[in-house]
Amino acid sequence: MAKFEPRDRKVKILATLGPASANPDMIARLHRAGADAFRINMSHADHETHAKTFAAIREYEAKIGQPIGILCDLQGPKLRVGKFENGRTVIPHGRHFTLDRNPEPGNENRVELPHPELFGLLQKGQRLLLDDGKLRLRVIRADENEILCSAEVGGVISDRKGVNVPDAEVPIPALTDKDRRDLAFAIQQKADWIGLSFVQRPEDLAEARKLMGGYGALMAKIEKPLAVRHLDEILEMSDGLMVARGDLGVELNPEEVPPLQKRIVQQARKAGKPVVVATQMLESMIESPAPTRAEVSDVANAVYDGADAVMLSAETAAGQWPEEAVTIMHRIAKQVEKDPGYDERISLGRVTPDATTSDALAEACASISRALKISAITVFTSSGSSARRVARERPRVPLLVLTPSLITARRVALLWGAHAVRTKDIGSFEEMIGKGKRMALRHGFGEAGARVIVLAGVPFGKPGATNLLHVVTLQGDELARHKSETSGK
């Protein structure tokens, strides 16, 4: 298999695997088309199936010699109605409809709501949204056994459809028993990222952190209005954010979601933590080989906002055109990043660095890359924090992230502009400069005469000690020695 070449774009693509794509051949094709990391949705399939997917990704990763990130997305506490007599019914507009605790099959007048925590919580005037907002109920009266509603928007409803409660804080934990089992499995399989669904409060992250036992990175999915109100605290307790626009768009008015998306992306960027924009990005490509113009603009706007990654869901998991969806998303991102106004757009989000040496040097890297003709920024890091600091500044050139940690190399697969290479640690300044040059040459980040920024910390190997920046020029003899070394292997 040919050696993997670095991407010619900075934003990353996260592709969901499922029935249409969770096989070795399609995984390879999606990665070659542009997918940088893969999402495994724990809401579907069983652990045996997911274990095969993990194995297929890691086998392909070993073949190409390029670290690939895997995000395991936990299902979360999804609220659902019970079952109906005939599997479905119609709730007419304007009619009364009751949600109760009776386990008998429902009909056009009532259905079970198997979530006792909602009874006594809801109040007159609050909304209940069924089946992703397709049906809208307004509470007339609620007690410990029944919730009487009026159907403001009626329609067809079938068994086990979802329920959203946008006007109340529902006292349910972020992790269900299923989530705990899935999380244990994900850690056993060495997932790089854990996606926590339906986060409402910063406390929701605490149990997941404890169960992770220090392994993996935690991504909070922002899909509840309450989470938006606690955004700063949630961001502080997480390693990254996902703008999960599906449920967020159900519980909020549609016009509220775009400015919220920009705000969440901006806040994550300020914190130097990866942010993923997800859901319905190329939705029509589930069935069509081409996206709509509006979908193309949607993806482009996320790239212009400076998101670290854009995600494909059903488009690659269950759609008819998974490879084409990745290809088109790759092309959109490339085109945006070629726009002369792109650098200025993403620079609008730059923030003043903290008063630390590490942050000051990260800002200096971006400043130098704008002032001089630089081909890349080579970052030596063990934990990935130095790379995150530099990526936060959105420099004009890519990041070559050199790390002895495979965990770190895989995790930065979702980091803007980063190409990770696992390599042995360095022990001296001379070794740092020599290796920085060789790796830049070997991985196509510069040719003879090109200048590269090298960023590291002394003493070497100590996390969080970034204190050294050096601008080097790749010499002809370095290139010759590199060719001699590689030809002799």
Catalytic (active-site) positions? 39, 80, 221, 279
From the CA atom positions of the chain, what is the Rg in Å? 24
What whole-number distance in Å separates Cα of residue 147 and Cα of residue 79?
15
CA 318 to chain centre: 19
- Exposed/middle/buried for residue 109 (C-beta within 10 Å: 0-12, 13-18, 19+): exposed
- Ramachandran region, residue 133 (left: φ > 0; alpha: ψ -120 to 50; beta: rest): left
Q: Residue with structure tokens 């008998």?
A: 104
Rounded Cα gap, residues 392 and 345, in angstroms: 14
Contact yes or no for 212/185 (Cβ under 8 A): no
Strands (DSSP E) contained in 4-126 are: 12-17, 37-41, 69-73, 88-91, 96-100, 110-112
DSSP state for residue 254 in the 8-state scheme = G
| Alpha carbons 414 and 70: distance in angstroms, whole number | 9
The secondary structure of 139-153 as a DSSP string is EEEE-SSEEEEEEEE
CB neighbours of residue 210 within 10 Å:
9
8-state DSSP, 162: B
Rounded Cα gap, residues 303 and 185, in angstroms: 33
Pairing of strands 37-41, 163-164: unpaired
**Residue that has been written with the tokens 């080579």 in this structure:** 378
Q: What is the separation of C-alpha 170 from the centre of its chain, rounded to a whole number of angstroms?
A: 25
